[in-house]
Amino acid sequence: MNSSDDGSLRIAWASRDVSTDKPVGIRGQFHLRISEGVMDPVTVTALAISNDEDSVIFLSCDIVVMWSFMVKTIRAKVHKTNPAIPVEKIIMNATHTHEGGDVYEAEDPFETLPRMPGKEYQAFFSDRAADAIVEAWNKRQPGGVSWGYGFAFVGQSRRAVYFDDVSKRPDAAARPGLMVNGHAVMYGKTNDPMFSHLEAGADHFLNVLFTYDPDNNLTGALVNVPCPSQVDGSIWKLSADYWHEARAELRKKFGKDFFVLPQCAPSGDLSPNYMYYKEAMKRRMELKGVNHRQDIAEQIAKGVEEVSGWASKDIRRSLPLAHVTRTIQLTRRPITKEEYENELATLKTLEQGKESSDPELKQRMIADSRLASAKKRCQNVIDRYENYQKNPKLPTELHVVRLGDIAFASNRFELYMDYAHRIQARSPAVQTFVIQLAGSEVGERGGSYLPTERGEWGKGYSATQYCNLVNSTGGQELVEETLGDINKLFSAQENK
């Protein structure tokens, strides 16, 4: 059998450092931060896999979200450099670090600390991302893969649920433009006498894909973890968060040239930060002599190493590969007339707010950016109400890949954990890697939380009009569309 019809894999990696010593905007909070140096490198990592049937190119980025304009920009630069690369087969995902460089498209309407203009950093970032993709594609050579799943305690629910509606408490404070609490509060106090439970539980799975060179030497791992990288989400330095330490630990085990491509599995309602037992965890770290990020990294590395020990017994060099990408339409979260009228009134009040008069520019920037954020979020809700009848569906880019007995499926959302379980439980694949916060060329903005039915009932940050472009109806549509494509890919191969 010759290589033209045996499914022989060709594989290569590449990575780039997208850090900068110049001050650059950092997003991920309700106010703008300007970097005060680099704590550790933020990177982009590309993995190209192909055979004569199809191809997939993964690009993982240490940023908060992959915006539509950035997906278009990177693909255009890749195509210009090498028109033979199938840019529609590139799946780009954010690790959702809150300490990455500024990839937001909009300019800020307020005075900021001196910094590199956002467009300048975005050009730098997209150049390097495109370079990594082109290098990985051009360097493909015969190789093999293995896969498996293991365990690491990284993410847990960050939504506290209460017996009562906290918005009706006498001391409840409104947060216009930011959130609307109900029975649930993101990072809510768990020592509250009305605390009932954590909404989502936890997901401890690690889905791992290993790659090998022609001599069966391990070259890298794609590691899919259901948790955003947000241990240090409020710092003013560039950082990959716990993925920096995880990469370092994995390279200690597998070699300094070992590539690591992180994927954030659905975890819109999960976090690496502990909701209770905080003193017990503090004691754990002190006695171990590590910080929280290092503790997570050691768990990930231990889990990946355990999987590699037995997965390496089943290295595949020839596999079916099929990659479907298309635009699907998902039901938008409708804005009620009451919400619309409330946002009009709220925006009017916010627009009467004055710019900060704090003598310190840093403090003025924080205050003014927080006000601008609240006004923008109100305006977005108003616009969605006014445009809903013309556009009740959100177009979104969907990728589904079959590689042998495993599948990959992407989505643009901060997707609640339950949706991943619905896909994985019904998938015909032995393992299904679900990738959240993957870029979509179509549909406005990037990211957006997608809550479950119980999340919508509880409200709280991540489950209100400010946060959700798509509702739980659209969430289940995403599940069914994804499973439909996975089933077709597996059925098509079985019928060959």
Select from 476, 433, 483, 147 the least CA-distant residue to 491.
483
Give residue 2's pLDDT band: very low, low, confident or very high (50, 70, 90).
very low
Helices 68-81 and 118-138 meet at what angle, rounded to 10? 50
pLDDT of residue 176: 78
Please write the tens of the pLDDT for every residue from 36-49: 999 999 999 999 99
Give residue 4's pLDDT band: very low, low, confident or very high (50, 70, 90).
very low
Please write the tens of the pLDDT for every residue from 405-464: 999 999 999 999 999 999 999 999 999 999 999 999 999 877 899 999 999 999 999 999
Residues 283, 291 contacting (CB under 8 angstroms): no
Report the distance separating Cα 99 and Cα 39, nearest Å.
9
| Percentage of the chain lying above the pLDDT 90 cut | 93
Select from 106, 92, 108, 102 the least CA-distant residue to 122.
102
pLDDT of residue 174: 78
pLDDT of residue 5: 52
Report the distance separating Cα 283 and Cα 28, nearest Å.
29
Report the distance separating Cα 205 and Cα 425, nearest Å.
13
* Beta pairing, strands 414-415 & 449-450: parallel
Give residue 316's pLDDT band: very low, low, confident or very high (50, 70, 90).
very high
| Percentage of the chain lying above the pLDDT 70 cut | 98
Burial class (CB within 10 angstroms; exposed 0-12, middle 13-18, buried 19+) of 386 = exposed
Residues 397, 439 contacting (CB under 8 angstroms): yes
Please write the tens of the pLDDT for every residue from 85-120: 999 999 999 999 999 999 998 889 999 999 999 999
Please write the tens of the pLDDT for every residue from 146-177: 999 999 999 999 999 999 999 999 988 878 77
Report the distance separating Cα 153 and Cα 292, nearest Å.
12
- Mean pLDDT, the chain, whole residue set: 95
Q: Roughly how many angstroms between the first and final C-alpha of the chain, as a whole number? A: 17
- The arrangement of strands across the sheet holding 195-198 comes to 184-186, 159-162, 195-198
* CA distances (Å), origin 239, targets 36, 59, 62, 230: 11, 18, 8, 10
Report the distance separating Cα 465 and Cα 339, nearest Å.
8
Residues 185, 170 contacting (CB under 8 angstroms): no
pLDDT of residue 3: 39
Report the distance separating Cα 328 and Cα 396, nearest Å.
6
- The arrangement of strands across the sheet holding 406-410 comes to 321-331, 393-403, 406-410, 431-435
Residues 6+ positions from 395 with CB-CB distance below 8 Å: 327, 328, 329, 442, 443
Select from 104, 406, 98 the least CA-distant residue to 233.
98
Please write the tens of the pLDDT for every residue from 199-234: 998 999 999 999 999 999 999 999 999 999 999 999
pLDDT of residue 495: 66
Report the distance separating Cα 444 and Cα 446, nearest Å.
7
Give residue 243's pLDDT band: very low, low, confident or very high (50, 70, 90).
very high
Tell me the Cα Rg of the chain: 22
Residues 98, 129 contacting (CB under 8 angstroms): no
Overall average pLDDT of the 130-136 stretch: 98
Instruction: Tell me, rounded to whole angstroms, the distance of Cα 23 from its chain centroid.
Output: 24
pTM of the predicted protein model = 0.96
Residues 55, 46 contacting (CB under 8 angstroms): no
pLDDT of residue 106: 82
* Beta pairing, strands 10-17 & 43-50: antiparallel
Q: How many CB atoms lie within 10 A of CB 376?
A: 14
Max CA distance (Å), the chain: 76
Select from 478, 477, 475, 448 the least CA-distant residue to 464.
448
Give residue 30's pLDDT band: very low, low, confident or very high (50, 70, 90).
very high
- The arrangement of strands across the sheet holding 43-50 comes to 90-94, 55-61, 43-50, 10-17, 141-142
